[in-house]
Each structure stands twice: as structure tokens, then as C-alpha cells.
Amino acid sequence: MAQTGTIYLVGAGPGDPDLLTIRAARLIERAGIIVHDGLVDPAILALAPPDAELISVAKQRSKHTMQQEDINALLVSIARSGEDVVRLKGGDPFVFGRGGEEAEAARAAGIPVEVVPGISAANGAAAAAQIALTHRDASSIVSFVAGQCKGLKDQDWAGLAGKGRTLVIYMGVKTAPQIAEKLMEDGLAPDMPVAVIENGTRPEMRVLRGLLAGLPELVENEKVVSPALIVIGEVTARDDITLAMTAQEVAR
């Protein structure tokens, strides 16, 4: 009987191959089978051996190549055949990556599973944009939410954003109007600074800034596409403040 393989849930980071962990890079470089998301940068997949089998299970809004239950079954099936499998995910497997579901499926099937954390999209994109998610003068609390969850309008986001807080919204491009409306209905000021980070850490990265009330127009007018993060809070304007202060000092 074939020995059971191991499922490796590996975080590929926010995009830039240089931001892979050493453990992630080593697993990719020796992988025989890689099951990967659509957001994994091609340069990262290029690190795999030439004869590695690459299986895409890319997900898009309302259009999945493979349902999550089928992905779970695929991973278990590969491991039961005696093969190790690298499940490669953008960002970190346990931050909106459904890694928890896949780990549970592996454990339920008696399959060894290892989780290799990655730099999350929020941490990587914010760092690339030089937006500090926490700052002693602006924010001591950070919250992550998914912007395309079912029942968005009925969720309780009260207290997640505002003075002294930073809110990072994943997968919020398509629902930007509902997000802005909901936050303002929950009491957030329309003039709260926001930033939209598109393709964080990649060469084509864009950082767009505005105010909460104008978020829908910002996303529409600039034709923002995924992957993109929405960051809401005073920290998104800190570097602008610093640049302005520096310009004033130079003028003196």
C-alpha cells in the first residue's frame, strides 16, 4: 500500500517572489505537484521544477474553477496516492485563504498537513505603499474584513474603523459602493482618509488615495481591478503629512 503523502499549505505572499519565506521557496523548488490559486504570481510558479504538475484552482467572484469542497477532495486524493502536494496560496493560508478548511479536511482524512505562513496581502501591500497599519499617533488597532461576504449590509462593522483604528478590506473592489455606504451608515465620517492598493508589491502596483465618501468613484474612475486592498483610516494619510512637512522644512 502506498505511503500517504503530505499536504503543504504554503503562503506565496503578496506577489513579489523575493517576499517568499525560505521554507516556501524550498518546497516550491522541489515540488512534484502544486495546486495553486490564480493570484499566485507566475514568477513564483516558475520556481517549480520543469516537470512539476501545476494545477490551477483559480477563483474569481461568482466564478470558481473548482468548488472548495472539490479542492479539499483533490488534495486528499493526491496525498492518499502517496504524493506530497504543495497547496500554494496568495498571501497567508490562514488570512482569507481558506487554509483552515483545507487543514480540517486533511486532518479529518488522516492526512499529514503542514502550514507554511506567508506575508499577508495586507502586510505586504501596506509596506510596499509605505502605509503603517499601526502608528502611535494614529492607530493602535487593525481589523481585517472580507468585502464580498454574503449579507454585507447586515454585518456589524461598528467600531472597526474610526479614530485610532485601521480597517483593511480584502476583496472589496466590486462592493466598494456598499462598503462606503455601510461604514458611513455605521457612523464613520465621510472625510475619513482611504487608500486603495492595487497589485501590491508588484511592478504594476498603484496606490490611490481619497476620502471614504468618494471611494466608489475612486475605484470606478481609476478602473481598479483585483487584486486590490482598501485601507481605511488616518494612517493612509500619514506619508502625505510627512512629505508635506519635509517640503516645508526644505523651503525654510
- Does the pLDDT value for residue 181 go beyond 60? yes
Write down the catalytic residue from 16, 18, 41, 59.
Answer: 59
Rounded Cα distance, 122 and 170, in Å: 8
Contact assessment for residue 146 and residue 40, using Cβ atoms and an 8 Å cutoff: no
137 is known as an active-site residue? no
User: How many angstroms separate the CA atoms of 38 and 29, rounded?
Assistant: 19
pLDDT at 90: 95
Q: What is the pLDDT of residues 127-144, one digit of tens each?
A: 999 999 999 999 999 999
Tell me which of 1-10, 152-161, 205-214 is least confident.
Answer: 152-161
**Mean local confidence (pLDDT), 208-223:** 97
pLDDT tens-digit map of 37-89: 998 999 999 999 999 999 999 876 555 568 999 999 999 999 999 999 999 99
* pLDDT (average), residues 196-207: 96
pLDDT over 50 (residue 115): yes
Quote the Cα angle for 112-71-97, to 5°. 80
Residue 186, pLDDT score: 86
Is-cis flag, bond preceding 227, omega within 30? Answer: yes
Summarised one tens digit per residue, pLDDT across range 83-112 is 999 999 999 999 999 999 999 999 999 999
Query: Looking at the predicted structure, is the pLDDT value of residue 191 above 80?
Result: yes
Cell numbers linked to 209: 488615495
Phi-psi region of 48 (alpha: psi -120 to 50; beta: other; left: phi over 0): beta
Residue-level pLDDT at 245? 33
Cβ count near 119 (within 10 Å): 23
Task: Tell me whether residue 153 is one of the annotated catalytic residues.
Answer: no
Quote the percentage of the chain above a pLDDT of 70.
Answer: 90
Average pLDDT of the residues of the chain: 90
Mean pLDDT computed over 28-37:
98
CA distances from 114 to 3, 77, 86, 100, 104 (A): 17, 16, 10, 11, 12
Cell numbers found for residue 68: 472548495
pLDDT of amino acid 127: 97
Of 16, 18, 37, 70, which residue is the catalytic one?
Answer: 37
When pLDDT is cut at 50, 70 and 90, the band that residue 239 belongs to is low
Whether the predicted pLDDT of 1 surpasses 90:
no
DSSP-assigned letters across all residues of the chain: -PPP--EEEEE-BSS-GGGS-HHHHHHHHT-SEEEE-TTS-HHHHTTS-TT-EEEE--EETTEESS-HHHHHHHHHHHHHTT--EEEEESB-TTSSS-HHHHHHHHHHTT--EEEE----HHHHHHHHTT--S-BTTTEEEEEEEETT-TTGGGS--TTSSSTEEEEEEES-STTHHHHHHHHHHTT--TT-EEEEEESTTSTT-EEEEEEGGGHHHHHHHTT--SSEEEEESGGGGHHHHHHHHHHHHHH-
- In this structure, of 22-31, 77-86, 182-191, the range with the lowest mean pLDDT score is 182-191
What is the value of pTM for the model shown?
0.87
- Indicate if the pLDDT at residue 249 is higher than 60: no
Exposure class string for 57-90: b at 16+ Cβ within 10 A, else e: bebeeeeeebeeeebbebbbebbeeebbbbbbbb
For residue 247, pLDDT over 50 is answered with no
